Amino acid sequence: MDITIFQEKRILLGITGSIACYKSVDLASKLTQNGALVDVIMTEAASRFIAPLSLSSVTGREVYSDMWSLDDHIQHVNLGEGADIFVIAPSTAHTIAKIAHGLADNLLTITALAARCPILMAPAMDVGMYTNPATQANVATLKDRGLLFAGPAEGRMASGLVGLGRLLEPTELMGHIRRALSSGGPLKDKKIIVTAGPTQEALDPVRFLSNRSSGRQGYALAQAALDAGADVTLISGPVQLNSPVGARMIQVNTAVEMSDAVLKEVADADVLLMAAAVSDFRPAELGKQKIKKAQAFSGGLGLPLISNPDILEQVKTQKAKTGRPLVSLGFAAETENLMEYGREKLVRKALDFIAINDVGSADSGFSVDTNRIILIGSDGRLMNMPLQSKSAVAEDIIRVIVEALDLRIN
Ligand code: C5P
């Protein structure tokens, strides 16, 4: 795993007594694997569900539970002071109530009172407890004071009841934590539009033309922009991926829908990252009913197609009037003459950058987790990036975008 934003971050993980505690071990492990330094505070009730040893084994660090220690008599202050974020997952109704009322009767709640860092609470409780007006009022009070909340989710609970109250899954919690850590990043207050995935062009109610784009590179770009603190709008074709936490999602199917969404969104945007694999053509006619085999054959096997709008060329025309987006980047998925085709697109689409990827090789491009990119800038720069994960590619691209935007603005 290579999520840069967690590296060297001091994360205080508070665990309270809920059956969902077992997920905290996985969360602590994932954060540690990504380079975070995770200090755990458990309540007495939490340590009846899971052993402190499980936590210290995955974090390689101490687990705190006692209020008073001879070595460090003000450890609640030290723990809270040194942390980048205090995540309380799971947060029981009781702990939420105590923190809302400023009660401090164990190390976890004392530390919450003393902490100067952001606090993120992930509630876990039965549906009746969560929807109870007392809990709702406590959550509202804490939100008002600037505490952050992640979840709960709807679903089946240990009691057998179904409803709102499940602790989010560790990967979802990671998304909320990285969003909280990103505030104040270099793209703070910048509006970034990212497109991702394929488009689908319907032939009839059951068939469509599309391509092999998985959306992974576009989603990784959206996540890297979020990690840099940006306001991200992700315009996505149909893909099998979870939406990055914090992104504003616009789901589209066709190239025309994507074009409408992009032109509207870039009107006040700082950056456009056009990673979507837009279908170049669509069927000339949309069959209202499923086209029958006999029907298709009677007209021959040809399928009349018409061209879709080139979104980046439309953006170019709009930008000539509005000046937005300030910086735009396109992708060129090629199987041959990479540099030549890439440079031609950079000029024709009036882009600041073109990310050329060789989709002809098995380890790069569509449907795999890795990518090899050559980035060319309109300023003449050329970056030959190594084969790396799509997240690492995205982080490299976002670094270049931050620099370009700085130059454009200053
Ligand atoms: O011309 P080509 O499709 O190879 O260019 C690729 C780049 O142009 C990508 O950034 C893609 O998202 C964008 N594109 C577009 N509108 C289209 C087709 C591609 O904006 N109709």
Specify the CATH number for the domain of residue 128: 3.40.50.1950
- Cα of first residue to Cα of last residue in the chain, in angstroms, is 35
Which residue minimizes the CA distance to atom 6 of ligand 1? 332
230 and 128 part of one domain:
no
Name the residue of 254, 256, 257, 274 whose CB sits within 8 Å of the most ligand 1 atoms, as the mutation to test its pocket: 274
The residues with which 307 forms a beta bridge, in sequence order, are 281
252 and 338 part of one domain:
yes
Residues 244, 226 contacting (CB under 8 angstroms): yes
Query: What is the pLDDT, as a whole number, of residue 296?
Result: 65
Tens-digit pLDDT profile for residues 258-314:
999 999 999 999 999 999 999 999 999 888 888 887 666 566 667 889 999 999 999
- Single-letter amino acid code for the residue at 44: E
Q: How far is the CA of 230 from the centre of ligand 1 (A)?
A: 24
Query: What is the pLDDT, as a whole number, of residue 68?
Result: 64
Which residues in the chain land under pLDDT 70? 1-2, 67-77, 294-301, 365, 367
95 and 58 part of one domain:
yes
Share of the chain above pLDDT 90, in %: 80
Residues 111, 76 contacting (CB under 8 angstroms): yes
311 C-beta closer than 6 A to ligand 1: yes
156 and 253 part of one domain:
no
259 and 337 part of one domain:
yes
Domain boundary among 120, 152, 181: 181
Tell me, yes or no, whether 186 lies in a domain.
Answer: no
141 and 290 part of one domain:
no
234 C-beta closer than 6 A to ligand 1: no
312 and 176 part of one domain:
no
Instruction: Show Cβ contacts of residue 328 under 8 Å, excluding neighbours closer than 6 positions.
Output: 271, 272, 273, 274, 312, 315, 319, 350, 351, 352, 353
Residues 309, 257 contacting (CB under 8 angstroms): no
69 and 109 part of one domain:
yes
What are the tokens at 353? 């950058």
- Catalytic site residue 211? yes
345 C-beta closer than 6 A to ligand 1: yes
Query: What is the pLDDT, as a whole number, of residue 297?
Result: 57
Exposed/middle/buried for 338, CB within 10 Å: 0-12, 13-18, 19+?
middle
172 and 282 part of one domain:
no
Tell me, yes or no, whether 203 lies in a domain.
Answer: yes
CATH code, 322:
3.40.50.10300
CA-based torsion, 167, 171, 174, 178: positive or negative: negative
- Domain extent for 277: 191-409
Query: What is the pLDDT, as a whole number, of residue 3?
Result: 82
Domain boundary among 162, 181, 200: 181
Of ligand 1's atoms, which has the minimum distance to the CA of residue 331?
10
Tell me, yes or no, whether 313 lies in a domain.
Answer: yes
pTM of the model: 0.91
338 and 390 part of one domain:
yes
33 and 163 part of one domain:
yes
The residues with which 331 forms a beta bridge, in sequence order, are 355
153 and 235 part of one domain:
no
Residues 386, 401 contacting (CB under 8 angstroms): no
Residue 152 preceded by cis peptide, ω within 30: yes
Domain boundary among 160, 181, 202: 181
280 C-beta closer than 6 A to ligand 1: yes
Residue 118 preceded by cis peptide, ω within 30: no
The residues with which 355 forms a beta bridge, in sequence order, are 331, 375
**Annotated active-site residue in 78, 132, 211, 253:** 211
The number of folded domains in the chain is 2
The Cα–Cα gap between 272 and 282 comes to 24
Name the residue of 236, 262, 273, 278 whose CB sits within 8 Å of the most ligand 1 atoms, as the mutation to test its pocket: 278
Query: What is the pLDDT, as a whole number, of residue 67?
Result: 65
Residues counted in the chain? 410
359 C-beta closer than 6 A to ligand 1: no
Of ligand 1's atoms, which has the minimum distance to the CA of residue 349?
8
Of ligand 1's atoms, which has the minimum distance to the CA of residue 262?
20
Tell me, yes or no, whether 34 lies in a domain.
Answer: yes
Tell me, yes or no, whether 350 lies in a domain.
Answer: yes
The Cα–Cα gap between 162 and 158 comes to 9
Q: How far is the CA of 313 from the centre of ligand 1 (A)?
A: 9
